[in-house]
Amino acid sequence: MRGTKRLSRAACAAIALAVCGALLAACRERPHETVDFVMGTVVRQTVYGPSAETAAREAVERLRALEAALSFHDAASDISRLNRSSGGPQVTLGPEAIGLLERSLEFSRMSDGAFNIMVGPLVRRWKVTADRPDVPPPAEIASLVRLASYRDLSVDRDRRTARLARRGQMADLGGIAKGYASDAVLALYRARGVRSAIIDIGGNIGLLGSRPDGRPWNIGVQDPGRERGSYIGYLSLADNSVSTSGGYERFFVAGGRRYSHIIDPRTGYPADSGLASASVVAPSAEESDALSTAVFVLGASKGIGLIQRRPGVEAVCITTDGTVIVTEGLRGRFTLTAPEGTYRVEYRYRVGPDAAGPARQR
Ligand code: AMP
Ligand code: MG
C-alpha cells in the first residue's frame, strides 16, 4: 500500500514535470515567419506548430489563385471579364467571385454606398498610384459618380452569373478582397492543424487562436504621420480580425492637397472625412476590411454609428488632428504607446442623437 502511494506520488511528479516541460517548450516555440508579395501588397505570416512551413507555403499558393480570380488589374481575372462585358450580357464567374460580389453588394447597401463595390471607374480615373496622376475635371467626376451605382450590379448565385447594367461600369473588390483572402488563409491553417498564427495581407490581419503561451497577440496600430512600422499603440486580441484603411497608404499631392486611394463614391473625390486612418476589429477579415473602408469614408461619428449595430465589431479611428477614438468594447484591449502630447484617446460607447452620454477621455 505504502509502496503504491509512493509510486503514485512519483508518477504525479513526473506528470507535473512533463506538463511544465511541454508548456515551456510551447513558450519557447519559434514561429515560421515569411514575407511575400501577393495581391499587390506585402503578405506576412507568423505560423506556429509542426505543419507551419507547409501551411505557409500553401497559403501563398492560395493567395495567388485568389488574386488571379479577383484582381481588378489582371485582364484574365473573373472581375475583369465582368467589367469588360458591362452593358452587355451576363457572364458566368467562379464561385469565389460570385460569393464575394454578392456579399460586397450587402456591404454597399448596409453602408449606403460609403463602401461601394462599383467604385471601379473612379478608382481607374484617379489612378493615384500611376506615375503622373492628375485631378480630373469636375464634370468628368460627376459622370463617373453616376456610373458608380451598386444597384446596377446583379448577381445570380444559383446560376453563378453576374451582370453590370451600363457600359463603362466596373466592380472593384480592392476594398474587401484582401480581407476575404485573409479569412481563406485562416481556414487553410485550421485544415492543416495549425492552432496559433497571424496572417497580414497589406494591413488586413487574421488571428488564429492566441500566442502559443495563451496570451493574446499584440497588433500595432500604425502611426499615420510616421514611417511604416511606427505605432501609436497596440490592440491585444485573440481569434479576431483587424483591418486598417489609411489615407497614408497610397496617395498623391497636387496643389498642396493630398488625394488618397480611398474614394468617397458619393462625391467622386478621395475621402476627406477628417480621418487619417480607420482600424476595424471584427469576427472575420472580410467584414473588417469592407467596414474599415466604409468607416474611413464616413468619418468617426457616422462610421462608428454604422458598426456599433454589428456584433463583435469595434473600431479605432485616428483623426487628422491627433485624436484616437476607440469604441468602448476595446477598453482594456487598446494600449496607447505614443509619447505624451502627441495623441489623446477618447472612448466612445454611443454616438448619434440617442447618445447615452458624452465620450469619455483618458
Ligand atoms: P482599403 O485599403 O481596404 O480601404 O481599400 C482601398 C481600395 O478599395 C482602393 O485601392 C480601391 O481599389 C477600392 N476602393 C476605394 N474606395 C472605395 C470605396 N469607397 N468602396 C469600396 N472600395 C473602394
Ligand atoms: Mg477595406
Q: How far is CA 159 from CA 1, 69, 156, 172, in A?
A: 74, 18, 6, 21
Ligand 1 nearest-atom number relative to CA 243: 3
Is residue 141 scored above 80 in pLDDT?
Answer: yes
Which residues, by Cβ under 5 Å, contact ligand 2, an ion? 175, 289, 292-293
Q: In the prediction, which pLDDT does 18 show?
A: 59
Q: What value does the mean pLDDT of the chain take?
A: 90
Q: In the prediction, which pLDDT does 2 show?
A: 44
Tell which residue, 242, 256, 285, 250, has the closest CA to residue 271: 250
Query: Is residue 355 very low, low, confident or very high in pLDDT (cuts 50, 70, 90)?
Result: very low
Q: Are 356 and 347 in contact (CB under 8 A)?
A: no
Ligand 1 nearest-atom number relative to CA 289: 3
Q: In the prediction, which pLDDT does 354 show?
A: 44
Is residue 5 scored above 60 in pLDDT?
Answer: no
Q: Are 68 and 76 in contact (CB under 8 A)?
A: yes
Ligand nearest the Cα atom of residue 264: 1
Report the separation in Å between the CA atom of 139 and the middle of ligand 1, taken as the mean of its atom positions: 22
Q: What percent of the chain has pLDDT over 70?
A: 88
Q: What percent of the chain has pLDDT over 90?
A: 80
Quote the CA–CA distance of 1 and 4 in Å, as a whole number: 5
Residue, of 146 and 358, whose pLDDT is higher: 146
Quote the CA–CA distance of 80 and 78 in Å, as a whole number: 6
Q: In the prediction, which pLDDT does 174 show?
A: 96
Is residue 84 scored above 90 in pLDDT?
Answer: yes
Q: In the prediction, which pLDDT does 361 show?
A: 41
Please give the average per-residue pLDDT across 121-149, as a whole number.
90
The C-alpha cell at 342 is 502627441
Going by the DSSP 8-state scheme, the letter that residue 270 receives in this structure is B
Query: Is residue 29 very low, low, confident or very high in pLDDT (cuts 50, 70, 90)?
Result: confident
Ligand nearest the Cα atom of residue 105: 1
